[in-house]
């Protein structure tokens, strides 16, 4: 396995050359404009824990005073014409340099991790902590990261909610080897706390707490969701029972033909509803929480009105985004019940009856309240969505996007969208497997 994921000598050499050249170039540019700045290679490239073929470099531009942060950003912009402005907690520059994707991130240089001014300032401390301890365990980290990729749990971005590279490194430091991590993880339950330095200060409610050795108040696994944690535990358990190299490869499914998807839909007999709109121009870590919020709001609306949902998901593909709601009940009887005030509240009763002039049945008394039956406003889930979607609280960017236009696809209409990423999402949605097919 290692042969396939461990960078070879030429890849190592090239990364070494590119990063050294980049760092000295940045520092001389800084000197040229009188900026006091320290460029640092951080992340897996700096620690020898990058996976073969992974051409990402993280270079942090450390400055000492606030005014210099903006100057460092300006300098980063000048390093390559092929760059994009990005924004996580702070602005940074993503550039293509000599075939590498380089994140150039301005940060403060602080003496002590207890004086951090922002999350990015913490990274150099992480780098130092791991570098000092990881020597000899790099291969274990590579195996673990690749296993996590193969199990679909690698990546701490909010879209995934999985394990970061730093978290994988800490797990190897904690347990001692890839095999030991797998063995331990196969028995994991939520509520587990790992504290390498025995300095954890804060009680966290997260399913897994890994105390940050450079900042004991922080949980390195804060972004890990309960389900990803358990997905990893399950993969570890399955792998231990039947070790197989297949566990290290994700093998995304091939897109299915229209006919195959139609057959899947028919078998399920549900009604999938897809609400599709322009993806707001924000990074994934801003987009996905908003998509999840919108998903919750739409589900709550549907359920409040008596519909029911088998499952739902969100996706962004190309410059589009969508909510998928798979309906278990999508049509209700035209007649519905409206409960009014208690019978003894004469004034409220009069107003209630005046507000419901066209009744099918009633008024009658139920549990002490006045009730009428009248025609339901929206007997079809799709009609309800079309009427009320725009007035829901969907998250700032999604709301704006929905207001400028959206489309609802129902049932086989979902096949009108041909995008490959969307089609793979659909297949993965219908399969919904968290255990590898060959291992289940």
Residues forming contacts to a copy of itself in the complex (CB under 8 A) are: 187-190, 207, 226-227, 230-231, 233-234, 237, 267-271, 306, 308, 310-311, 327-329, 332-337, 342-344, 346, 353, 360-368, 373, 379, 430-435, 440
DSSP-derived secondary structure letter, 257: P
Nearer to a copy of itself, 119 or 335 (CB): 335
- Closest distance between a copy of itself and the C-beta of residue 269, in Å? 4
Q: Which residues pair with 277 in a beta bridge?
A: 321, 406
Nearer to a copy of itself, 13 or 366 (CB): 366
Nearer to a copy of itself, 74 or 413 (CB): 413
Nearer to a copy of itself, 58 or 206 (CB): 206
Nearer to a copy of itself, 245 or 432 (CB): 432
- Closest distance between a copy of itself and the C-beta of residue 263, in Å? 12
- Closest distance between a copy of itself and the C-beta of residue 276, in Å? 22
Nearer to a copy of itself, 108 or 430 (CB): 430
**Phi, psi angles (nearest 5°) of residue 95:** -130, 150
Angstrom distances, CA of residue 428 to CA of 77, 252, 298, 434: 39, 8, 22, 10
- Closest distance between a copy of itself and the C-beta of residue 239, in Å? 13
Nearer to a copy of itself, 240 or 415 (CB): 240
- Closest distance between a copy of itself and the C-beta of residue 48, in Å? 33
Q: Phi-psi region for residue 335, left (φ > 0), alpha (ψ -120 to 50) or beta?
A: beta
- Closest distance between a copy of itself and the C-beta of residue 416, in Å? 22
Terminal-residue alpha carbon distance, the chain: 22
Q: For residue 348, give the H/E element and its range.
A: helix 346-355
Torsion of Cα atoms, 339 then 343 then 346 then 349, to 10°: 20
Q: How far is C-alpha 288 from the chain's CA centre? A: 6
- Closest distance between a copy of itself and the C-beta of residue 332, in Å? 6
How far is the C-alpha of 104 from the C-alpha of 60, rounded, in Å? 6
Q: Which residues pair with 84 in a beta bridge?
A: 94
Beta strand segments in 116-191, E: none
How far is the C-alpha of 253 from the C-alpha of 427, rounded, in Å? 7
């Amino acid at each position: 396995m290692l042969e396939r994921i461990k960078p070879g000598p030429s890849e190592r050499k090239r990364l070494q050359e590119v990063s050294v050249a980049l760092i000295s170039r940045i520092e001389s540019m800084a000197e040229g404009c009188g900026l006091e700045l320290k460029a640092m290679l951080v992340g897996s490239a700096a620690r020898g824990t990058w996976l073969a073929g992974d051409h990402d470099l993280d270079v942090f531009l450390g400055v000492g005073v606030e005014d210099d942060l903006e100057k460092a950003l300006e300098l980063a912009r000048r390093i390559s014409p092929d760059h994009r402005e990005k924004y996580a907690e702070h602005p940074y520059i993503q550039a293509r340099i000599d075939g590498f994707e380089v994140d150039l991130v301005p940060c403060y240089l602080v003496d002590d991790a207890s004086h951090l001014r922002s999350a990015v300032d913490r990274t150099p401390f992480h780098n130092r902590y791991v570098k000092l301890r990881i020597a000899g365990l790099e291969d274990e980290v590579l195996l673990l990261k690749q296993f996590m990729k193969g199990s679909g749990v690698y990546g701490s971005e909010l879209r995934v909610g999985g394990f970061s590279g730093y978290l994988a490194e800490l797990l190897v430091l904690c347990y001692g080897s890839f095999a030991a991590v797998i063995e331990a993880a196969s028995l994991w339950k939520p509520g587990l706390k790992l504290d390498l330095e025995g300095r954890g200060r804060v009680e966290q409610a997260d399913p897994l707490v890994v105390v940050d050795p450079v900042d004991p108040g922080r949980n390195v696994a804060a972004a890990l969701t309960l389900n990803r944690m358990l997905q990893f535990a399950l993969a570890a358990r399955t792998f231990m029972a039947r070790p197989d190299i297949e566990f290290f490869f994700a093998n995304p499914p091939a897109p299915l033909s229209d006919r195959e998807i139609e057959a899947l839909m028919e078998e399920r007999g549900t009604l999938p509803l897809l609400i599709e709109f322009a993806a707001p121009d924000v990074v994934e870590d801003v987009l996905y929480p908003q998509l999840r919020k919108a998903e919750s709001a739409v589900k709550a609306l549907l359920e409040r009105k008596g519909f029911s949902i088998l499952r739902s998901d969100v996706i962004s593909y190309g410059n589009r985004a969508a909510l998928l709601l798979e309906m278990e009940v999508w049509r209700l009887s035209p007649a519905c019940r409206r409960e009014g005030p208690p019978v003894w509240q004469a004034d409220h009763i009069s107003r209630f009856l005046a507000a419901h002039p066209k009744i099918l049945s009633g008024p009658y008394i139920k549990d002490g309240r006045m009730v009428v039956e009248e025609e339901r406003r929206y007997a079809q889930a799709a009609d309800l969505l079309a009427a009320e979607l725009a007035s829901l609280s969907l998250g700032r960017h999604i709301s704006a996007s929905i207001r400028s236009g959206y489309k609802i696809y129902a049932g086989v209409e979902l096949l009108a969208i041909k995008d490959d990423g969307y089609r793979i999402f659909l297949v993965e949605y219908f399969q919904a497997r968290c255990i590898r097919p060959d291992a289940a």
